[in-house]
Amino acid sequence: MNLAATLGSITRSGLGAPALMLVILAMVVIPLPPFVLDVFFTFNIALALVVLLASVYSERPLDFTAFPTILLIATLLRLALNIASTRVVLLNGHAGADAAGKVIEAFGQFVIGGNFAVGIIVFVILTIINFVVVTKGAGRVSEVSARFTLDAMPGKQMSIDADLNAGVIDQAEAKLRRSEVVQEADFYGSMDGASKFVRGDAIAGLLITFINMLGGIAIGTLQHQLPMSEAAQFYILMTIGDGLVAQIPALLLSTATAIIVTRASGSQDMGQQVTRQLFGSPQTLAVTAGIIGLLGLIPGMPNLVFLSLATGAGYLAWRIHQRQSAAVQPDVAESGVLTEPGAAESADTREVGWDDVPPLDTIGMEVGYRLITLVDRNQNGQLLARIKGVRKKLSQELGFLIPPVHIRDNLDLAPAAYRVTLLGVTAAEAEAFPDRQLAINPGQVQSTLPGIVTQDPAFKLPAVWIEPSLREQAQTLGYTVVDASTVIATHLNQILLSHAHELLGHEEAQQLLDRLANAMPRLVQDLVPKTLTLRIVVRVLQNLLLEQVPIRDMRTIAETLAEHGARSQDPDVLTAAVRIALGRMIIQNINGLEDELPVITLAADLEQILLRTLQTGRDEQVSLEPGLAERLHKALLETAQKQELVGQPGVLLVPDAIRLMLARFTRHGIPHLHVLAFSEIPEDKKLKVIATVGK
């Protein structure tokens, strides 16, 4: 069995960490021969290099969550080696420079040239760099990152909830993101503590070296009767060699700590990020080449070095410019392509035909030229994926397939504007800035942020378009921060949800019936066309969607229509019957699984007035007396707003006869008020009257 297999079996058995701790403890207690010290010193340097490279090549800090633990183990290993080497140096230092092993001798003789004065200076400089510059800076960054990460957790959780509610992500993705938020807080909290290990290790290394120098000279002169110069030559060289062997891995681990806590998350490792961001602009390299070239022309300067470097930088700038100019970025849309100037054939070469009449898109989106990057996959555009997520979520919730969204550019729009059309008619228009992020005030934030003040286009909440660098600050203040793609997708979700009844036509209804016929052919045959026409079924389904009632349960809908269709062909009467059959689902969508439903009722005399008004009219579309309508609307609006403030749904419970009239009356003025009939409430549902309007 080879060494790798042996180490793998030890790791899988769970004995790796205890075995390493025992080895570290043994180095502290048991004297080690010089050869074993050479092996462990070499291993310590190799471990520090592996940790440094792992931190460089990790794409995100969270990809190296074991770093704090590894840092602690490496620090303990190095301190244990310091103790073991100190024992050997002080016991055998009088025998010569190689008494503590070849590694310490090599660092004492070759690295500093056998001059202990130079060694002391080099060691002090390394310690200053490690302790004052790298370790102190990394510790400060770790502390600040930990504090801001913990402060930003509520805002990040709200952002995840907003994406989930908008259909941008599903439950599994939301769970994963929440887990990453918790892991990020734990990681930076651990890094804040781990940076203290590095700082303490640097101080300990300096003190151990100082003590070894004094102790070695004292032992050499007093116990072994060596001359002062010879004792200093032996013990100080070995002590400095020992300090350098320990200080170099310490500097590598300190650098790895600084890299981990100072880098940003991304889809590239640090080398790729530095190359892309530092050398990605040909203008930067060209200006640098010009300045270095001018310096190279000054008499007395090292002209060859400066001019050679200027030539190389200029050539690299030219190559980058050529590569960027040759890049072709095709325009892409979800169900079509963005229009390009000059793509159409000349009108003089063919006759006008039906091909010149463009088909009407059920759902269309037009974007300004600055938003084209959001729908271009070659530029990491996320809008197409977000829109597909919205369509999938709404299709699952409402019960029918939402048509594709046809996206095209429109140069008549403002650069950052977009427009949503339904059946060729503009449904909404707003602006989104792809280079900024939208900080939405959920209502309790008092602080302000610099940026473009606006409103969230979906929910009309106060918001501000901020620079991406202010995201953490905004989340800490309590803002919900989302990118431009999420803003547009959320807005589209609200538009499609409120206009779902317009998206369902005869073709979609027939597809629903065909799917139902695969499982229940007899039910569909008895319904269409024997009992009802497809036109009436479509009207009923549209009425349900108009009042935010999903049509997922097509079996119950079809059975109810088949039962009541023989007695009435009126779509409104049939819709009322279907609502009663779907009552349990309607209540659950409004109030979840709560046993008690808070409701608003009408006073008895007001109900009688409305019933008489309905009887004197032709149908449910009668108009109320203006004064009565104004007072009723004001009272219902105030009551519904009070319910919304306490986090409860606004439900108006009325007699069956006037439900449709009041639903139409409140539909646009009080959109969050649900109007239910008494017969729609399941028998096992408890009611709690929280207000009576009209007293």
Cα(14)–Cα(5) distance, integer angstroms: 15
369-404: pLDDT as tens digits: 899 889 887 777 888 889 999 999 999 999 999 999
Does residue 611 lie within any of the structural domains?
yes
Residue 340 has a pLDDT of 45
Number of domains in the chain: 5
Distance CA 332, CA 43 (A): 53
Q: Per the domain annotation, does 478 fall within a domain?
A: yes
**What Å distances lie between residue 315 and 286, 289, 296, 311, 410, CA to CA?**
9, 9, 17, 6, 39
* 11 within domain boundaries: no
> Does residue 336 come out as left (phi exceeding 0), alpha (psi in the -120 to 50 range) or beta?
left
- Summarize the confidence of residues 640-666 as an average pLDDT: 89
* pLDDT at position 549: 94
Residue 437 has φ and ψ, to the nearest 5°, of -130, 150
| pLDDT range class, residue 345, cuts 50, 70, 90 | very low
In a domain, 14, yes or no: no
Chain segment 126-178, per-residue pLDDT in tens? 777 777 777 777 777 777 777 777 777 777 777 777 777 666 677 778 788 88
Residue 333 counted as domain residue: no
Q: What is the pLDDT of residues 428-473, one digit of tens each?
A: 999 999 999 999 998 888 888 999 999 999 988 899 999 999 998 9
Q: Is pLDDT larger for residue 19 or for residue 287?
A: 287
pLDDT tens per residue across span 180-239: 877 777 777 777 777 777 677 777 777 877 787 788 778 877 777 777 777 776 777 777
Are 520 and 621 within one domain?
no
pLDDT (average), residues 28-42: 79
- For residue 14 the two structure tokens come to 């769970």
Please determine, for residue 45, whether its predicted confidence score (pLDDT) is greater than 90: no
Point out the domain boundary residue: 581, 603, 638: 581
- At a CB cut-off of 8 Å and minimum separation 6, what does 234 contact? 93, 94, 96, 97, 99, 216, 220, 226
**Predicted pLDDT of residue 344:** 45
* Same domain, residue pair 488 and 509: no
- Quick one: 665 and 558 in the same domain? no
Backbone angles phi, psi at 685, to 5 degrees: -90, 130
CB atoms within 10 A of CB 627: 8
Q: How many CB atoms are located within 10 Å of the residue 579 CB?
A: 25
Q: Quick check: is 150 in a domain? A: yes
Q: Give the residue-averaged pLDDT of 36-43.
A: 81
Domain boundary pick from 434, 466, 501? 501
Segment 580-620, tens digit of pLDDT: 999 999 999 998 888 899 999 999 888 888 888 887 755 44
157-165, Cβ contacts within 8 angstroms, sequence gap of 24 or more = 157/181, 158/442, 158/480, 159/475, 159/480, 159/481, 159/482, 162/440, 162/480, 162/482, 162/486, 162/490, 163/482, 163/486
Domain of residue 693: give its range: 594-695
40 and 112 part of one domain:
yes
User: Do 609 and 649 belong together in one domain?
Assistant: yes
Residue 648 in contact with residue 589, Cβ under 8 Å? no
Place 6 in a pLDDT band, splitting at 50, 70 and 90: low
Say what the pTM is. Answer: 0.56
Which position has the token pair 């001359």? 227
468 vs 137, 277, 445, CA distance in Å?
A: 24, 16, 19
How many Å apart are CA 283 and CA 316, to the nearest integer?
A: 11
pLDDT at position 97 is 56
Domain shared by 471 and 515, yes or no: no
Within a domain: residue 345? no
Find out whether 199 and 135 touch, Cβ atoms under 8 Å: yes
Q: Pick the closest to residue 239 from 263, 261, 211 (CA basis).
A: 211
Tokens of 231: 């004792």
What are the residue ranges of helices labelled H in 62-170? 67-92, 102-106, 116-128, 136-165
Other beta carbons less than 10 A from residue 573's beta carbon: 15
207 and 163 within one domain: yes
* C-alpha dist (Å) from residue 220 to 119, 217, 229, 373: 19, 5, 10, 74
Last residue in a domain, options 581, 616, 644: 581
Residues 238 and 306 both lie in one domain:
no
Instruction: Tell me which amino acid residue 93 is.
Output: G
CATH label of the domain that carries residue 471: 3.40.30.60
Please answer whether residues 481 and 437 qualify as being in contact, where contact means their C-beta atoms are separated by less than 8 angstroms: yes
Q: Does pLDDT of 58 surpass 80? A: no
DSSP 359: P
Answer whether residue 225 is part of any domain. yes
pLDDT at residue 539 above 90? Answer: yes
- Terminal Cα distance for the chain, rounded: 90
Residue 111 is predicted with a pLDDT of 57
- 199 and 140 within one domain: yes
Host H or E run for residue 528: none
| pLDDT tens digits for range 254-308 | 788 778 777 655 545 555 666 666 666 778 778 888 888 887 788 877 778 778 8
Write down the pLDDT at residue 11: 52
Contact assessment for residue 125 and residue 247, using Cβ atoms and an 8 Å cutoff? no
Written as one letter, the residue type at 496 is: L
**Residue 407 — φ and ψ, nearest 5°?**
-110, 135
At 8 the pLDDT is: 53
Residue 652 DSSP SS3: strand
Cβ within 8 Å of residue 397, ≥6 positions away: 550, 552
Q: Are 131 and 203 in contact (CB under 8 A)?
A: yes
Structure tokens at 478: 């309590």
Helix then strand count (H, E) for the chain reads 26, 12
3-class DSSP assignment, residue 669: coil
Answer whether 326's CB lies under 8 Å from 370's CB: no
Enumerate residues 6+ apart whose C-beta is below 8 A from 197: 71, 72, 75
Residue 572 sits in the same domain as residue 632 = no
- Residue that wins the pLDDT comparison between 160 and 350: 160
> Which position has the token pair 């998206």?
503
Q: Chain-wide mean pLDDT for the chain?
A: 80
Looking at the fold, whether 74 and 166 belong to one and the same domain comes out as yes
- 55 and 197 part of one domain: yes
- Residue 678 structure tokens: 């008494």
**pLDDT of 253 strictly over 50:** yes
Local confidence band at 337 (pLDDT 50, 70, 90 cut-offs) = very low
Which CATH number goes with the domain that contains 653? 3.40.50.12790
**For position 528, which CATH number holds?**
1.10.8.540
Phi, psi of 549 (to 5 degrees): -100, 115
